[in-house]
Amino acid sequence: MLRREITTPTDRLFSRRRFIYYSAAFAAAVACGPAAAPATGAPAASASGPVQLKGTKLNLLHWTSFVPDEDKWFKETLVNDWAKPNGVDLTIELVAANEAQPKIVAALQAGGGPDVMLLQWTWAHLYADKLSDVGTVAEKVGSDGGGFYDAAKQNAQVQGVWRAVPFGITGNAVHYRESLLKQAGADKFPATWSDLAKVGADVKAKTKLFYGQATGHSFGDPPTFLNPFLWSFGGSETDETGKKLAVNSAATKDALVAFKDLFDKAADPQCLSWDDSSNNRAYAAKQIWGTLNGASIYLTAVTADPDLAKDTQLVLLPAGPKGQFSLGTPFQYAIPKYVKDPGPARELVSYVMSPKTYGGFMKAGKGYTLAPYKKGEGELWPSSDPKFDPFKKIGTLTKWYGYPAPPSPAAAESGSKYIVVDMFAKAAQGDTPESAMSWAEGELKKIYKL
The residue that leads in pLDDT, 45 or 104, is 104
pLDDT digit string, tens, across residues 253-299: 999 999 999 999 999 999 999 999 999 999 999 999 999 999 999 99
CA–chain centroid gap for 26, Å, is 20
- Give the relative orientation of helices 221-231 and 250-266 as an angle to the nearest 10 degrees: 130
Average pLDDT over residues 153-176: 96
- 293/51: higher pLDDT: 293
The residue among 372 and 49 whose pLDDT is bigger is 372
Percent of the chain with pLDDT over 90: 86
Q: Residue 68: its pLDDT value, please? A: 94
**What pTM value is reported for the model?**
0.86
**Strand order across the beta sheet in which 288-293 lies:** 210-211, 288-293, 173-177, 312-315
For 118-127, what is the mean pLDDT? 95
In Å, how far from its chain's centre is CA 204? 29
- In tens, the pLDDT along 335-385 reads 999 999 999 999 999 999 999 999 999 999 999 999 999 999 999 999 899
Under 8 Å between Cβ of 184 and 202: yes
- How many residues would you count in the chain? 450
Q: Would the pLDDT of 39 be above 60?
A: no
Binned at pLDDT 50, 70 and 90, residue 105 comes out as: very high
Tell which CATH classification among 3.40.190.10, 2.30.130.10, 3.40.50.300, 3.20.20.220 matches the domain 172-325+418-448.
3.40.190.10
The answer to whether 142 and 134 are in contact (CB under 8 A) is no
pLDDT of residue 285: 97
Distance, CA of 442 to chain centre: 25
- Pick the more confident residue, 225 or 37: 225
Structure confidence at residue 41 as a pLDDT band (50, 70, 90): very low
- Average confidence (pLDDT) over 27-47: 39
Q: In which element (H, E) is residue 211 found?
A: strand 210-211
Q: Which of 27-36, 119-128, 241-250, 424-433 has the lowest mean pLDDT?
A: 27-36
**Is the CATH number 3.40.190.10 carried by domain 14-36+46-171+328-397?**
yes
Q: How far apart are CA 310 and CA 302, in angstroms?
A: 8
- The domain ranges of the chain are 14-36+46-171+328-397, 172-325+418-448
User: Which pLDDT band holds residue 50 (cuts at 50, 70, 90)?
Assistant: confident
pLDDT tens-digit profile of 85-94?
Answer: 999 999 999 9
Task: Say what the pLDDT of residue 3 is.
Answer: 52
**pLDDT score, position 370:** 96
Give the chain's mean pLDDT: 90
14-36+46-171+328-397 and 172-325+418-448: identical CATH topology: yes
Helix (H, G, I), strand (E, B) or coil at 277: coil
